[in-house]
Amino acid sequence: STSVTQPIGVCTMIAVRSKGQESWWSRSNLRLEANAVNNSSEVPRFRYGKMAGAVADGIHVHPLHSVHYRNTRLLPSVAVGAAAVGRDPSEVDLLIPSIIVPGDTPEERADLLTLARIRIGFYGATKNYAYQFDDLGFDGVSAELNRHLKADDSTALANE
């Protein structure tokens, strides 16, 4: 069994509109020690999770993730690395970004939701992240997103 590692903070990526332009704003509420060693990213072979479990203070989770991913791939990977050196996996902090769409009404959120879907589509078009969709039963979605990205079709990217 794996210990449930708790996030120490959330790095929020928010779709915002400023001066008529839509963009992403990112802010972290993390207060980390200046000498903390954190590694970033995670690939299907989960070497980074194992490495973080063995030697790092924390791991920056990619913005394209799910609770399923966290529980079935990331935490077990961290636990393997921690076990290899006799470490408790709960010592590894998770830094988990979230993509959110603020607004009080569907109309206020509509354009920002499209922007968030394009961001997710962009990340999902990366072949190394196909497993994120496949694990959730959306086999082949990543390949379609990749096709839309190559065609520079952001509308299709957002609607896949």
Question: In this predicted model, what pLDDT tens digit does every residue of 33-69 receive, in sequence order?
Answer: 555 666 665 555 567 788 888 888 888 788 888 889 8
Residue 19 confidence (pLDDT) above 90 = no
Query: ∠ CA(31), CA(37), CA(39), 5° rounding?
Result: 100
Number of H helices, E strands in the chain: 7, 5
pTM, two decimals, is: 0.68
Between 127 and 28, residue with greater pLDDT: 127
| pLDDT the model gives residue 11 | 41
| pLDDT the model gives residue 157 | 84
Question: In this predicted model, what pLDDT tens digit does every residue of 77-125 receive, in sequence order?
Answer: 899 999 999 999 988 888 878 888 888 899 988 888 888 888 889 888 9
| pLDDT the model gives residue 7 | 40
Between 22 and 106, residue with greater pLDDT: 106
| pLDDT the model gives residue 67 | 87
Largest Cα–Cα distance of the chain, in whole Å?
Answer: 53
Tell me how far apart the alpha carbons of residues 145 and 126 are, in angstroms, rounded to a whole number.
8
Q: Kindly state the average pLDDT of the residues 1-16.
A: 40
Sheet holding 7-18, edge to edge: 21-28, 7-18, 93-100, 58-60, 38-40
Question: In this predicted model, what pLDDT tens digit does every residue of 125-160 receive, in sequence order?
Answer: 988 888 888 999 999 999 999 999 999 998 888 888
